[in-house]
Amino acid sequence: SLLAFRASLAIAPFNELALEYYPLLLIQGYQDEEAKEFLRSLQGNVPQETEERILYNTLRSIVGSGASDLAIEWIAEQVADYPDRLFYYQLQFHMYQALGWRPEAEGVLEAWERRTGERPPDMVQGLEDMRRGAQEREQQRIDKALEGHDGGE
């Protein structure tokens, strides 16, 4: 199927169907660098809304499949190359959030705040959600540990 997508892209570069699946097929074929280059090539060649949707969906799929190192590396490169583009920070933040990496997510918010003086509401809310979730898990752990204890034992 990788060959079919390559042929499709040769005929109609940046067609939406190929854009959605081609990078994932490259990764499945252990062609990570080619996948990263393909994702980079979207900027300026497709509408920004299309680019952002494809990047979000692709990175979410990569993280979901357990290849988070590849996604982390790619988004870090994008943040470094385009430090004024909020979308890349948001994508990096949400990726860390999905992985449950609160300190890293907080670092993304802090980096954007240092750069712009702004605290994007979605990131602020995401950190609050992560904090609340950690507290709930801790309370559940405590409750479970106390189950079966009458307090007098």
The predicted structure's pLDDT at residue 136 = 87
Residue 90 has a pLDDT of: 97
Q: What is the pTM assigned to this prediction? A: 0.80
Per-residue pLDDT at 117: 97
How far is Cα 98 from Cα 109, in angstroms, rounded to an integer?
15
**Given this model, what pLDDT does residue 7 score?**
66
pLDDT of residue 24: 86
User: What is the predicted pLDDT for the residue at 96?
Assistant: 95
pLDDT at 1: 66
pLDDT of residue 78: 95
The 3-state DSSP composition of the chain as helix, strand, coil percent (nearest 5) reads: 80, 0, 20
Query: Rounded to whole angstroms, how far apart are CA atoms 53 and 4?
Result: 23
The pLDDT value given to residue 135: 86
State the DSSP H helix or E strand holding residue 6, giving kind and residue range, or none if neither.
Answer: helix 2-11
pLDDT along the chain (153 residues), means of 10: 66 71 84 91 91 92 88 95 96 94 97 97 96 87 79 52
Please report the pLDDT score of residue 66 as a whole number.
85
Residue 41 near residue 79 (C-beta atoms within 8 A)? no
